[in-house]
Amino acid sequence: MYHRGLDPPTRSVIDRARAIVQRDVATLRDILTSVYPPDLANGGLAGCLGDLVQPLLGAGVAVEVTVDEGIELSPAVAATLYRAAREALQNIRAHASARHVLVRLSSHDGTVVLHIHDDGVGFDTAAGMPVRGHFGLRLIHDTVTEAGGEVGITSTPGAGTCIRMRVPAA
């Protein structure tokens, strides 16, 4: 490429540096996506939820996404639910060993409910965090409660996990 005529050790250093920069650019894209979700303005939250489950589908997990018709969300609420859903689905992919996942977005009495259920390994909710050093559930809780919402998490070892997030629609 750009390093014709360079000695092999120098080419090796350049190739390693290129790989590091490419990895860091990918990491930065992930960070930016979590701060400002893509396509929320164009595709709405329903479309973004469909995008978020693609890695699970690609891993052979059966996923069902249902969204009630007529749900209207402010951009801030849509972004909050996107971030929480993204974290929940990443946790499922990384830790749950799930075969089936249900994602349901519904609206009730001025609130929006996002329910994510998996049939994975689960954990003992009485014991707190399933694995030290993993902050996904804390991130979901903090994201939703900072928006004035509430989070309920139920899980049983061997029987999966349900996360229910309720947020004011406006």
Q: Residue 27, class by beta-carbon neighbours within 10 Å (0-12 exposed, 13-18 middle, 19+ buried)?
A: exposed
The pTM score is 0.75
List pLDDT tens digits, range 122-160.
988 776 655 455 578 888 999 999 999 999 999 989 999
- Hey, which residues does 112 pair with through a beta bridge? 107, 167
List pLDDT tens digits, range 61-117.
999 999 998 888 888 898 899 999 999 999 999 999 999 999 999 998 889 999 999
Q: Which two tokens stand for residue 51?
A: 């995008």
Contact 101, 117 (CB under 8 A): yes
> Mutual orientation of helices 75-91 and 136-146 as an angle, nearest 10°?
170
Cα dihedral value 144, 102, 58, 36, nearest 10: -20
Q: Residue 107, class by beta-carbon neighbours within 10 Å (0-12 exposed, 13-18 middle, 19+ buried)?
A: middle
The distance of Cα 45 from the centroid of its chain, to the nearest Å, equals 13
Among 123, 111, 108, smallest CA distance to 162 is for 123
Can you give the pLDDT at residue 9?
86
Q: What share of the chain is helix, strand, coil (3-state, %, to 5)?
A: 50, 25, 30
Q: Is the pLDDT of residue 28 over 80?
A: no
- Second-level CATH architecture of 40-168: 2-Layer Sandwich (3.30)
Q: Which helix (H) or strand (E) holds 89?
A: helix 75-91
Q: Is the pLDDT of residue 32 over 60?
A: yes
